[in-house]
């Protein structure tokens, strides 16, 4: 185990009375000391096991988790990790339905009301506030990211209360661009959002598609619209809307402005023609093979685009609205690693969470082409790659606390009315005023969930 983590555990034990690094435990005690710490029992390190449930069953994250589990066990030879892969769709039900004695110590949980909120409400998850202080997670993750893994103790208020999880990976919506095409048009990456908007008619007049966009799958419009709303509202107000803070409404001036912008882009031909009939995957493929100048989507597409475009693809966060401002955009994190309330070894499990989101994990994630959620990392992708663009943009946005949750997190059922409303807006079946009114009606039906 690294010196930093060892110091964190020891300092935390002194500050909070955790028994992880102290020797006041007898063999078989649920908080027996980890090997390699300041004290062990007279009978030597106490063997113990951790059961972990996660949904990382595919490459590359499956391999990352295997390597990290092995690294954790090397650091703590007396701890055996028993990992079980559970499908994303079954994770929540598996925890809810498992007998208490059969529940894991650590489980991945999706953020938002439907999963994390429901499990907190059922008292199945353990708050992590004390561990956040021990392991200095307050500095590892900015306030906006911590809020996405936080709930009130009754599980009803999202984005406030206690921290219930920490995440390995990050993601955000931004601008992928074709470097050669931008150069051929004698355009450079704009420094302000208004500069980006001014490029769109110039690109269209040159006979190029400004933005490649497909919305047949319904979810892409939420990411694009969220990015537009982030610019018109700013991060604090945009975050307040998702978390249901004071005065939050979908029929606000900022939401209306974003709706007008989106419909205007479609009418002016800045979005791919027939976007509602074009799949998300096909849009990304078209961009990778030379269609259009910009693709507005999430950082998860970086590796796929680079495989086809090589060094010709670049990525930036949305440029700031003002010269003195910072970039803000919609985004989030991978599933949260959480501690179950029934864990017999919560301190050891917390050390596992720290390792799985710490420097070794960041190195493994970067090596696998993934984006670590941590705001600083010694692991850096190769120069000149879109992976480095993505990491640099993510860290800059996070340092400014500019990552805003996706708008469909605002209620347990918001995805359907929001995606349907955006589809109608893009197709011209609804005006921006009608759109914001319809979404506000859906938002208002779930006041208790916020």
φ and ψ at 285, to 5 degrees? Answer: -65, -45
pLDDT on residue 283? 97
pLDDT on residue 45? 75
Confidence label for 375 from pLDDT (cuts 50, 70 and 90): confident
pLDDT tens readout for residues 323-336? 999 999 999 999 99
Per-residue pLDDT for 42 more than 60?
Answer: no
267 and 273 Cβ atoms separated by less than 8 Å: no
pLDDT on residue 448? 57
pLDDT tens readout for residues 253-310? 999 999 999 999 999 999 999 999 999 999 999 999 999 999 999 999 999 999 999 9
pLDDT on residue 377? 64
Confidence label for 446 from pLDDT (cuts 50, 70 and 90): confident
Cβ neighbours of residue 133 closer than 8 Å, sequence gap 6 or more: 12, 15, 16
In this structure, how many other beta carbons lie within 10 angstroms of the beta carbon of residue 365? 25
What integer is the mean pLDDT of 195-219?
97
pLDDT tens readout for residues 227-241? 999 999 999 999 999
Strand partners, 271: 211
Confidence label for 376 from pLDDT (cuts 50, 70 and 90): low
Domain borders along the chain are 3-164+335-367, 172-332+386-449
Report the 3 state secondary structure along the chain: CCHHHHHHHHHHHHHHCCCCCCCCCCCCCCCCCCCCCCCCCCCCCCCEEEEEEECCCCCCHHHHHHHHHHHHHHHCCCEEEEEEECCHHHHHHHHHHCCHHHCCCEEEECCCHHHHHHHHHCCCECCCHHHHHHCCHHHHCCHHHHHHCEECCCCCCECCCEECCEECEEEEEEEEEEHHHHHHCCCCCCCCHHHHHHHHHHHHHCCCCCEECCCCCCHHHHHHHHHHHHHHHCHHHHHHHHHCCCCCCCCCHHHHHHHHHHHHHHHCCCECCCHHHCCHHHHHHHHHCCCCCEEEEEHHHHHHHHHHHHHHEEEECCCCCCCCCCCCEEEEECCEEEEECCCCCHHHHHHHHHHHCCHHHHHHHHHCCCCECCCCCCCCCCCCCHHHHHHHHHHHHHHCCCEECCHHHHCCCCHHHHHHHHHHHHHCCCCHHHHHHHHHHHHHCCHHHC
pLDDT on residue 161? 97
pLDDT on residue 148? 97
450 and 250 Cβ atoms separated by less than 8 Å: no
Per-residue pLDDT for 12 more than 80?
Answer: no
pLDDT tens readout for residues 140-180? 999 999 999 999 999 999 999 999 999 999 999 999 999 99
Cβ neighbours of residue 265 closer than 8 Å, sequence gap 6 or more: 200, 211, 271
pLDDT on residue 213? 98
pLDDT on residue 350? 98
The CATH classification number of 172-332+386-449 equals 3.40.190.10
N- to C-terminal Cα distance for the chain?
40
Min mean pLDDT across 224-233, 350-359, 376-385 is at 376-385
The CATH classification number of 3-164+335-367 equals 3.40.190.10
Confidence label for 379 from pLDDT (cuts 50, 70 and 90): confident
Per-residue pLDDT for 36 more than 90?
Answer: no
pLDDT on residue 450? 54
Q: Do domains 3-164+335-367 and 172-332+386-449 have the same CATH topology?
A: yes
Q: What percent of the chain has pLDDT over 70?
A: 89
| Geometric angle at alpha carbon 169, from 167 and 170, rounded to 5° | 105
pLDDT on residue 19? 44
How far is C-alpha 139 from the chain's CA centre? 17
What integer is the mean pLDDT of 183-202?
98
């Amino acid at each position: 185990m690294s010196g930093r983590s060892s110091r964190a555990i020891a300092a935390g034990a002194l500050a909070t009375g955790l028994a992880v690094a102290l020797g006041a435990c007898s063999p078989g005690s649920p908080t027996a000391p980890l090997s390699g710490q300041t004290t062990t029992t007279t009978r030597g390190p106490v063997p113990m096991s951790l059961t972990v449930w996660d949904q990382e069953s595919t490459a590359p994250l499956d391999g990352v988790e295997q390597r990290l589990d092995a690294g954790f066990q090397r650091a703590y030879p007396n701890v055996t990790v028993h990992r079980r892969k559970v499908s994303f769709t079954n994770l929540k039900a598996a925890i809810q339905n498992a007998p208490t004695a059969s529940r894991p110590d650590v489980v991945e949980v999706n953020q938002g009301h439907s999963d994390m909120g429901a499990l907190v409400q059922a008292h199945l998850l353990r708050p992590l506030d004390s561990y956040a202080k021990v392991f200095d997670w307050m500095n590892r993750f900015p306030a906006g990211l911590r809020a996405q893994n936080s709930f009130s103790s009754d599980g009803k208020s999202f984005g406030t209360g206690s921290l219930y999880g920490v995440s390995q990976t990050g993601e955000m919506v931004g601008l992928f661009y074709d470097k050669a095409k931008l150069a051929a048009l004698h355009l450079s990456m704009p420094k302000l959002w208004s500069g980006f908007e001014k490029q769109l008619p110039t690109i269209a007049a040159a006979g190029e598609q400004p933005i490649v966009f497909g919305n047949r799958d319904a979810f892409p419009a939420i990411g694009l619209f969220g990015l537009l709303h982030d610019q018109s509202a700013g991060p604090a107000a945009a975050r307040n809307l998702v978390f249901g803070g004071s005065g939050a409404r979908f029929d606000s001036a900022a939401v209306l402005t974003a709706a007008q912008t989106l419909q205007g882009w479609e009418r002016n031909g800045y979005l791919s023609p027939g976007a509602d009939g074009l799949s998300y995957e096909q849009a990304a493929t078209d961009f990778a093979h030379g269609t259009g100048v910009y693709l507005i989507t999430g950082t998860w597409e970086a590796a796929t685009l680079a495989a086809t475009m090589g060094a010709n693809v670049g990525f930036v966060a949305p440029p700031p609205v003002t010269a003195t401002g910072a970039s803000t955009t919609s985004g989030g994190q991978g599933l949260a690693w959480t501690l179950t309330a029934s864990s017999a070894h919560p301190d050891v499990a917390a050390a596992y969470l720290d390792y799985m989101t710490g420097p070794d994990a960041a190195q493994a994630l970067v090596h696998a082409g993934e984006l670590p959620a941590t705001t600083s990392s010694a692991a850096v992708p190769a120069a000149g790659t879109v992976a480095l663009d993505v990491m640099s943009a993510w860290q800059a946005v996070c340092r400014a606390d500019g990552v805003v949750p996706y708008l469909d997190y605002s209620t347990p059922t918001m995805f359907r009315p929001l995606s349907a409303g955006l589809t109608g807006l893009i197709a011209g079946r609804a005006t921006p005023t009608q759109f914001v009114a319809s979404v506000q009606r859906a938002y208002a039906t779930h006041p208790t969930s916020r």
